[in-house]
Amino acid sequence: MTIELLHTEECPNAATYLPRLRQLVADAGVNEPVQVRLIADPTQAQREEFLGSPTVRIDGRDVDPSSDERRDYGLSCRLYAGPSGLSGAPPDSWVLEMLRRRGTVETNDAEA
């Protein structure tokens, strides 16, 4: 399983959120490190389909359930519309759900 935190250089939310993301990963019983990746320019943002900073991806999939419908790639701050309103980080439930779903897929693949 690959867990990534993508961010821009000036994003205050990424540095604040990283310890929380690591804790969520540990709480889910996942022993993979969080890979931190800098998105440095607009070309890279387009190539990476980067929806703003911070972005959390698990096995290449954005944790935001609505991300597949979006195409507003670029170097910007990202706001997440979760159950408790707007936030500079994704709701814990999105991250935990994706970790559980991806973990189940990996477990099923290993058993096959």
State the pTM of this model.
0.88
Tell me the two tokens of residue 83.
């159950």
Rg of the chain over Cα atoms, rounded to whole angstroms, equals 14
Q: Give the structural domain span for 63.
A: 3-111
Mean pLDDT of 17-28: 97
Give dist(CA 55, CA 63) in Å, integer: 8
Predicted confidence (pLDDT) per residue in 57-81, tens digit: 999 999 999 898 889 999 999 999 9
pLDDT at 107 over 80: no
Predicted confidence (pLDDT) per residue in 23-60, tens digit: 999 999 999 999 999 999 999 999 999 999 999 999 99
**Average pLDDT score, the chain:** 91
Sheet harboring 61-62: ordered strands across?
Answer: 34-38, 3-7, 55-58, 61-62
- Helices within the chain (DSSP H only): 12-27, 42-47, 92-111
- Name the domain count of the chain: 1
